[in-house]
Amino acid sequence: MRYVVSRMGAADVPRIAEIEKRAYPTSQWPVSAYHRELQNKWAYYIVVRDLAITAPVESEQTMARRAFPFSIFNSSRTATMDIALASIVGYAGLWLTIDEAHVTTIATDPSARGRGLGELLLVSLIDIAYDIGARWLTLEVRVSNAPAQALYHKYGFSVVSTRPRYYTDNNEDAYIMWTPEITTRSYRAMFAARKETLMQRLSTEE
């Protein structure tokens, strides 16, 4: 398959920071937060790679440097992002608290949207939730983010309450969403069917 999900590593963080800046221009985690999360034994972070990306690309940070009059000081080592980093087109994570998995973030590079990668990341998080013994998943989502809410509803999440002024960049409210218990036969069947449909879709990507 063209897209591969793997565990996030420390070397991936610079690329994650660039994607986050593009996906959430008004609200980003500091880079140090990701490094701390990768040391948290109760946190699980993943990336999705596009194996069709086979050449290095110039990073946003480097492009900004090139605009500076003294771009002569840019070395070839920092001029491009290597293929391993450039191939990352999305990321996601969750925390485990007893038997609850709290989805902390899901993001895809804007250039890769519309391909089902956000859904692939969510499916991968649900698979992780099964592996680590979670029985429910929960998350917060902006009240204005209808596309994300539609994806979460597709996988059984429902709104249970609202956190007023949750997002600090614009004081927007957040919906708190929960799944039903994911270990039930009915949820497992629903999840398996939707996952299979997604995998069939992604397997046709070239």
152 is catalytic: yes
Residue 181 appears among annotated catalytic residues: no
The number of beta carbons lying within 10 Å of the beta carbon of residue 205 is: 13
Written as six digits, the tokens of 65 are 């440097």
Paired tokens of 51: 């194996």
Partner residues linked to 181 by β-bridges: none
H helices within the chain, ranges in order?
A: 13-23, 31-39, 60-66, 76-79, 83-86, 117-131, 146-154, 185-203
Q: Which of 152, 139, 155 is nearest to 94 (CA)?
A: 139
Choice among 3, 45, 152, 175 that is catalytic: 152
Please identify which of the residues 140, 166, 167, 172 carries the catalytic annotation: 140
- Which sequence positions are flagged as catalytic? 140, 152
